[in-house]
């Protein structure tokens, strides 16, 4: 999984926050809204390790909670755990690899964990729906939708980072 520079990371975070705020409400399918903010959390977790993933997840999740209407802290907790797990599941060798295929399983596991934790937290906080309804109508479709969005988002970023590095290497070889 390619790592991005801090500038590129900051740009990615801002873009994903804007996507969540502006685009997500308009691409809801059967009541399920994709979680674009999962992308920078996964990016940091897989690229920089569990600590970065955990901190990024907490910060971005808290921001999402504060501009939304749900319970404050719920998204922060679920994204912090997801970011941590994303980093922990991708070992050091895979983290430095150019292969993108290593990413799929940790990505889906993290997305699934985030959706389950958030759904369970809302149930514990008094969401009046049944466990079956929450899993059937929100968690499982949410895993699928956010999983696909995250996979596509990370693949695009990975490809972009790889081509950028190639360009830089070509430029430096020309200079020598």
**R_g of the chain computed on alpha carbons:** 17
Measured from the CB atom, the residue of 21 and 109 that comes closer to another protein is: 21
3-state class (DSSP) for residue 128: coil
Measured from the CB atom, the residue of 23 and 104 that comes closer to another protein is: 23
Comparing C-alpha atoms, which of 135, 136, 108 is closest to residue 120?
135
For the CB of residue 134, give the shortest distance to another protein in the complex, in Å: 7
Cβ–Cβ under 8 Å, residues 136 and 40: no
For the CB of residue 176, give the shortest distance to another protein in the complex, in Å: 17
DSSP 102-149: GGHHHHHHHHHHHHHHHHHHHHHTT--S-HHHHIIIIIHHHHHHHHHH
Read off the tokens for 170. Answer: 């070509």
Measured from the CB atom, the residue of 84 and 107 that comes closer to another protein is: 84
Cβ–Cβ under 8 Å, residues 54 and 66: no
For the CB of residue 104, give the shortest distance to another protein in the complex, in Å: 20
Measured from the CB atom, the residue of 78 and 107 that comes closer to another protein is: 78
For the CB of residue 105, give the shortest distance to another protein in the complex, in Å: 19
């Amino acid at each position: 999984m390619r790592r991005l520079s801090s500038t590129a990371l900051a740009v990615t975070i801002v873009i994903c926050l804007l996507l969540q705020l502006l685009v997500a409400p308009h691409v809801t399918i059967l009541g399920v809204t994709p979680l674009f903010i999962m992308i920078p959390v996964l990016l940091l977790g897989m690229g920089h390790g569990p600590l970065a993933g955990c901190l990024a997840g907490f910060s971005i999740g808290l921001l999402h909670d504060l501009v939304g209407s749900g319970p404050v802290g719920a998204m922060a907790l679920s994204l912090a755990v997801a970011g941590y797990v994303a980093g922990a599941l991708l070992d050091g060798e895979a983290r430095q690899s150019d292969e993108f295929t290593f990413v799929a399983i940790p990505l889906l596991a993290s997305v699934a964990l985030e959706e389950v934790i958030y759904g369970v937290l809302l149930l514990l906080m008094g969401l009046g729906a049944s466990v079956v309804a929450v899993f059937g109508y929100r968690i499982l479709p949410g895993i699928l939708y956010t999983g696909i969005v995250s996979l596509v988002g990370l693949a695009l970023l990975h490809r972009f980072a790889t081509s950028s590095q190639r360009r830089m290497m070509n430029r430096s070889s020309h200079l020598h």
